[in-house]
Amino acid sequence: MRILTVGDIVASDGREFIYNNLGRIKKKFNIDYCIANGENSANTNGITLDIAKNLIMSGVDVITLGNHTFANREYAGVLNDNERVIRPANYPSETEGSGYFVDDLGNVRIGVINAMGRINMEALDCPFRATEKIIENIKDKTDIIIIDFHCETSSEKLAFGNYFDGKATAVFGTHTHIQTADEHILPNGTGYISDLGMTGVRDSILGVKKEIIMDLYYTRKKYRFEKAEGEVWFSGAIFEIDDKTKKVLGIERLHFSAAELAKME
């Protein structure tokens, strides 16, 4: 089985890339299942009802979120109305939505968990304990468990990945929008990459106009973020999983534009 994981989809440019190209990507790389981070898919962060619906219609099976989960006022409707959109599990239990989703495809059951780190992030419950509890609850109902750990630092991501080595099929990181080159299979068989990167305008800083972010760091004055304009690049990774053992056989990083994708076809 080949599971495609997609790095943070940023603003209208990123989501339009997914609408227009995800089908081609899935066909080109023989993808069976797709998980994408959509916490920045609305232009002002967050996600809307229409965006969630359109991403799923385009071929995303599960949408994970992060620290911008509540940035758009439609968040409650998104989380309550669509079980395929999940938010970090270590938010308080009263929070709308769920931190995981189990998808029974008939021949295989896939559990997707979303958790968020705490270093340089919001003060949340422990992501290790929250994830551990979910795995205990779903391990007998799933054949494959994939975790999106939305987190700032590589050290916390590595600690998280190694803690769940052998307990989860794969752990991938999101949030920094910078793709890491450390994809590997951990000692007990869990596939791991620290960050998938982003699907958004490449000539930008985090998908935002460079001038705004540079001025933020130079003057410490914070302005309203505006999305960048330019060529969009797709970032993600494919986890190839053995159909019998349900162990990761290999991990392939993806990073290309629509023009680069066309050359591959």
Residues designated as active site: 68
**Max CA separation in the chain (angstroms):** 56
- Cβ neighbour number for residue 39 with a 10 Å cutoff: 29
